[in-house]
Every structure is written in C-alpha cells, then in structure tokens.
Amino acid sequence: MMNTNRTVVSRRSRPAKEPLSHELIVQTAYRLLKDEGMSGMSMRKVAKALDTGPSSLYVYVKNLQELSAFVLDHGMGELRYPDGAGVPWQERLFDVLTAYLHLLFEHPGLAELALTTLPMGEHSLRLTETILSALAEGGIRTTAAAWGVDLILFYVSSVAFEHVSWKKQGTDQLASIKASYQSADPARYPQITALGETLFSGDTSTQDRFRWGLQVILQGILQTQNEKGAEHHERQNGS
C-alpha cells in the first residue's frame, strides 16, 4: 500500500511507454518498412509496434498517405552523398543516383514507396538540389532542369521498382509473361520475335542498363533543350 503510493521515484526512471510523437511514428513505420516491406507498414502495425491503438496515430499524421510521404523522406535521409569535389558533373550525377538506386535496392519497400509517393521533408529537397546543381553545371537550367529532375528521379525509382517486382512477383507469373512473348506469332509480331531473349534483360546487367538509361536522358536533355526549350520559351514570351 505504502509502496503503491510512493511510485514517484519512477518519474525519473524511463517511462513504461515512450510518449508518441511525429518523429517516433515515422521512425517506427520506417523500421517496419525495412524489415517487412511495404505491407509491413500499416497504420495498425505501426500502432501495435508502439503498443497503442491505430486511432492514436491520427493525432500526429493525417492518414496513411501522409505517413508514407514522411517515411519516404526519412528513408532518403539514409542516403550518403559521395564526395563530388573535382568530379565532372555527369559523373557526379551518376554517382549520387547510383547511391540512391542502391538505397532503394537495399530496402525494397522504399522502392515501392518512391514510385507512388511524393516525399515530404528536407531530405528530398536535398536530393533535388543536388541533381539541379549538377544539371546547372552542365548548362541545363529553367524548364529543362525542372522537368529533367522529375524525369531522372522517376527513372531511378522505376528501375528500382522493376528490380523489386522481378524478385517479388511469383516466378509463375513471370514465366507465363515470358512464355507469351516467346510464343508470339512471328507473322503478327516480327519485331518481338526478332528480339527474342533480348527483351528480357530485366534481370541481367542492371548496372549497364541503369547507366544506359541515364546516359540516354542526359544526352537527350542536352540535345533537346535548345530546340523545344527555346521554342517553348519563345511561345511563352510571345517574342
């Protein structure tokens, strides 16, 4: 009895339950995402991991979509930026994006999020800024730069997502898609038939393919910006 009334001591000891907070919720959700993938990050599971009910989360987070946006940004905070001092802009860009790709590879759930969610927070700002500054050094600015960042980030996400899909999707599903391509009527689908195995390089040489795609996008932007970009600009100014 006496002891029961004297639990004041426990005030300074670690409380049985850490109080909730925006940060704690995002961290917990991210841990679940890393450990169990996209389906591990549900409002209910996050709540359970925090030893509370799902409704408690709604004080700190508007809904699952908003939480996802924060978790994605939190994950991007794990990106370690390679030292770009003295490195040419194209290579610098390639290095950062490769690091980002690897981060998404390591955490498949993050790759899924990246494709479908607009991140919210400082870490996505930093990545965008880094890409923009590399592009600017390459002479890519204004509209071309704005659209370029978008295209580039989407490209990285899509490569990561495709890679993850390949691993996750039941082997049967992939086998039957592959089969349908390989048994395509040569008369109706000559190009597909001619390509044969080449069409299924989704699994092989991800590295080469990733590099190729970035090369394509950068070369394309450099080539295009002084045509369409200028044309667009002229139209805007009416000059």
Partner DNA sequence: ACCTGAACACCGTTCAAGT
Residues between 59 and 98 with contacts to DNA, criterion CB under 7 A: 59-60, 63-65
Residues between 33 and 52 with contacts to DNA, criterion CB under 7 A: 42-45, 52
Inter-residue long-range contacts of 87-91, CB under 8 Å, 24+ positions, other chains counted: 89/134, 89/135, 89/137, 89/138, 90/134, 90/138, 90/218
Quote the CA–CA distance of 38 and 42 in Å, as a whole number: 8
Q: Which residue do the tokens 């704690």 mark?
A: 24
The entry of a copy of itself, DNA, none that residue 150 binds, CB within 5 to 8 Å by partner kind = a copy of itself
Please report how close the Cβ of residue 112 comes to a copy of itself at its closest, in angstroms.
8
Quote the CA–CA distance of 214 and 93 in Å, as a whole number: 9
Please report how close the Cβ of residue 104 comes to a copy of itself at its closest, in angstroms.
15
Q: Which residue do the tokens 């961290």 mark?
A: 27
Which is closer to DNA, CB of 19 or CB of 238? 19
Contacts of 114 (CB under 8 A, 6+ apart): 72, 104, 156, 157, 160, 161
Residues between 5 and 34 with contacts to DNA, criterion CB under 7 A: 17, 19-20
Please report how close the Cβ of residue 153 comes to a copy of itself at its closest, in angstroms.
10
Please report how close the Cβ of residue 121 comes to DNA at its closest, in angstroms.
19
Quote the CA–CA distance of 139 and 229 in Å, as a whole number: 13
- Pair 37, 108: CB distance under 8 Å: yes
Provide the binding-site residues for a copy of itself, judged by CB under 8 A.
62, 65-66, 69, 115-116, 118, 120-121, 125-126, 128-129, 132-133, 136, 142-143, 145-147, 149-151, 154-155, 158, 161-162, 165, 169-170, 172-174, 176-177, 180-181, 184, 188-192, 195, 198-199, 201-202, 208-209, 211-213, 215-221, 223-224, 227-229, 232
Which residues make up the interface to DNA (CB under 7 A)? 17, 19-20, 42-45, 52-56, 58-60, 63-65
